[in-house]
Amino acid sequence: MDFPVADPIQEAIASVVSRRSYGYPWPREDGRSVATAFADRMGRKFGWEIDAQRVRVLTDVVQAVATCVHAFSDPRDGIVVQTPSYPPLLRVVDLLGRRLVANPLRDTGTRFELDIDGLRQAVSGTRMVLFCHPHNPTGRVFEAHELEALRDIVVEHDLIVVSDEIHADLVYPPRRHLPLALVDPELGARTVTLNSASKSFNLAGLRCGVAHFGSDALAERFDSCFPPELLGHVSNVSLEATIAAWDSSEKWLADALGVLGRNREMLVERIRRDLPGAVCHEPDATYLAWIDCRALELGAEPPAFFLDRARVALKGGTDFGDEARGFVRVNFANEPEVLDAILDRMAAAAGGDT
């Protein structure tokens, strides 16, 4: 994200720096913590009332995914992931010796949807669903009927869901994020929800994420596998920045979403106009656009093509799953002029104009 952070965040960090002391984090005098800031914010934003005692603070969301996979499944167990997928989720499953069971999203021609029939078949013999909601890279915000269908399958097959909701702040009206755990209590009790201020408030380098466990049993199991000595600790700079983001930076976020929403419109319009043949469904959320470049015939890996011919670095391709070959992912969290220049370069290169 190219936007300077919110003033309250900068001030919180400056206040830590001004003390010239970087000792271990100490409980704050006002009792505020990342866990209570998260719990209160979920209540304010989504009407999701959660107990801060069931929130654990970790160094990042990918660590949370990996530790949950380790805690709630065994080697060679099947783990279901909707593909295309943010690559670290796929890698974690592989690195921990679990079996990746891909359930590709269905492209309806206007958007990507959960393939519920595919999911029903995919879950057989698996222990867990790794869910990404809103979804990276497609930007889909799954709707209540999709989440309810997921709930039926998860409950019927006695599964645990790890729901990575790191993009939940970045949803464009009229769409609204519905936390998976809020869909229904039975599903909530088997859901671990992951979140962080890192994507929406531009804090990714500071390292802090949270995991909320939907039941005491899940939290206890996690704690027994990962005592603090194994997890490590988050720095006081990061804790203070995250609290400032969640308690005091909503105005900044609303402004950032305004810019991102306009960038999203410009990007989708320009892809349609200037990259004929490329297909981009307007993302409901995130600052990521998932673009199908297969008809452009740019070679096996379009990210390599755009890097080479346009000097534009994009992610995409088979790191996101087998069905992602021929796609690129554009990050549009930049100043409009920068995004314009990126699109000019991509269009010129794809049109053979370089």
Ligand X SMILES: Cc1ncc(COP(=O)(O)O)c(C=O)c1O
CB of 208 to ligand X, least distance (A): 8
Site string for ligand X, 74-113 (x = CB under 6 A): ------------x---------------------------
Distance between CA atoms of 36 and 31, rounded to whole angstroms?
Answer: 9
**Residue with smaller CB distance to ligand X, 232 or 277:** 232
| Token output for 234 | 């988050």
CB of 210 to ligand X, least distance (A): 10
The H-assigned helical ranges of the chain are: 7-18, 34-46, 61-72, 87-95, 116-122, 144-156, 185-188, 216-225, 228-231, 236-248, 250-274, 302-310, 336-350
**Residue with smaller CB distance to ligand X, 132 or 154:** 132
CA-wise closest residue to 243 among 22, 31, 20: 31
Site string for ligand X, 192-231 (x = CB under 6 A): ----x-xx----x----x----------------------
**Residue with smaller CB distance to ligand X, 132 or 171:** 132
Site string for ligand X, 51-70 (x = CB under 6 A): ---------xxx--------
Contacting residues for 106 by C-beta, under 8 A, at least 6 apart: 112, 113, 114, 115, 118
**Residue with smaller CB distance to ligand X, 61 or 114:** 61
**Residue with smaller CB distance to ligand X, 209 or 317:** 209
CB of 89 to ligand X, least distance (A): 7
CB of 277 to ligand X, least distance (A): 27
Amino acid at 196: S
Distance between CA atoms of 197 and 182, rounded to whole angstroms?
Answer: 20
Note whether 320 and 83 are within 8 A (CB).
Answer: yes
Pick the binder of ligand X from 12, 130, 166, 312 (CB under 6 A): 166
Distance between CA atoms of 146 and 71, rounded to whole angstroms?
Answer: 27
Distance between CA atoms of 108 and 125, rounded to whole angstroms?
Answer: 28
CB of 18 to ligand X, least distance (A): 27
Site string for ligand X, 277-316 (x = CB under 6 A): ----------------------------------------
Amino acid at 173: P
| Cis amide bond preceding 84, omega within 30 | yes
Give how many residues touch ligand X by CB under 6 A: 13
- For residue 244, report the phi and psi dihedrals to the nearest 5 degrees: -65, -35
Contacting residues toward ligand X, per CB under 6 A? 60-62, 86, 132, 136, 164, 166, 196, 198-199, 204, 209
